[in-house]
Amino acid sequence: MDDYWNQYWNYSDIINRENKHAQVGRTIQGIPLEGWLWDKTIEFVFNHLDLELSMSALDLCAGNGLITEPLSQKVKFVIAVDCSKKFIDSINKKQLENTTAICCDARSFKFKDNFFDISICYFALQHFKVHESIELFRNIYHLMKPGGKFYIGDIPDLDRIWEFHSTDNYKSVFFESLERREPIIGTWYKKDTLINLSKYIGYSKQEIITQEKFMINNHYRFDMLLIK
């Protein structure tokens, strides 16, 4: 894993913010996302997954559990994986009956092959370089049952990078951050790169999902659903 992000999610001040959305950087001009808007976002994601109470789910790069907890109410069993010790501790503190949170690198997370019905990786693919995403997609492919669904949400869209860094000032901040090796967001992806990558790994179906207007990052991010 890129050491920068490991350090960032274990030692930077962001993880000590009071608000849970602020802790994972889900803010609009510095203001944390409101609960009702997150509930709608979760509903949007879950509607693509046909969740059932018999299912086993993997929440990858789970952060402080903002997806893990609602997911645990919809399925039989959840494993949440994140590289941030503080976030994993905060999930385990909730003592959710059917959930285990594990501190480790998502790419090297090992479990039984063909086990999970559902995997979700939301608002985190930017932390992986393209070659690391290949490893990640392959790892998840092995962990999921045939027919299992892998939802990758909130992926920065390379085709819209200059709509995001739109002013001269934002562009300067962006290039300065790259020079310092402290990227503001991380890796931006072209949709067809991820489609081709997932075909290369062997996923049988892939769908790009356009975010709805109410979703706070819809102007520069997209979602994707893969079927093993």
Ligand X SMILES: C[S@@+](CC[C@H](N)C(=O)[O-])C[C@H]1O[C@@H](n2cnc3c(N)ncnc32)[C@H](O)[C@@H]1O
* Residue 69, CA distances (Å) to 72, 102, 125 in order: 5, 14, 20
Which residue bears the tokens 């002013």?
167
* Residue 44, CA distances (Å) to 131, 145, 213, 215 in order: 29, 23, 12, 9
Give the burial string for 60-98 (b: 16+ CB within 10 Å, else e): bbbbbbbbbbbbbebbebbbbbbbbeebbebbbeeebee
Shortest distance in whole angstroms from residue 119 CB to ligand X: 12
Give whichever of 11 and 170 is closer to ligand X, judged by the CB atom: 11
Which residues within the stretch 140-169 sit at the binding site for ligand X (CB under 6 A)?
none
β-pairing verdict for 56-60 and 77-82: parallel
From 41-49, 75-83, 92-100, 192-200, give the range in contact with ligand X by CB under 6 A: 75-83
Q: Any contact of residue 70 with ligand X (CB under 6 A)? A: no
Shortest distance in whole angstroms from residue 168 CB to ligand X: 27
Give whichever of 55 and 121 is closer to ligand X, judged by the CB atom: 121
In sequence order, the β-bridge partners of residue 56 are 77
What is the number of the residue whose Cβ is closest to ligand X? 63
Q: How many residues bind ligand X (CB under 6 A)?
A: 22
Residue 12 token pair: 């930077």
Q: Any contact of residue 216 with ligand X (CB under 6 A)? A: no
Q: Which x/- pattern over 92-131 shows residues binding ligand X (rule: CB under 6 A)?
A: -------------xxx--------------xxx--x----
Residue 102 token pair: 């594990």
Shortest distance in whole angstroms from residue 60 CB to ligand X: 7
Which residues of this protein are in contact with ligand X, per CB under 6 A? Answer: 1, 5, 9, 24-25, 61-63, 66-67, 81-84, 87, 105-107, 122-124, 127
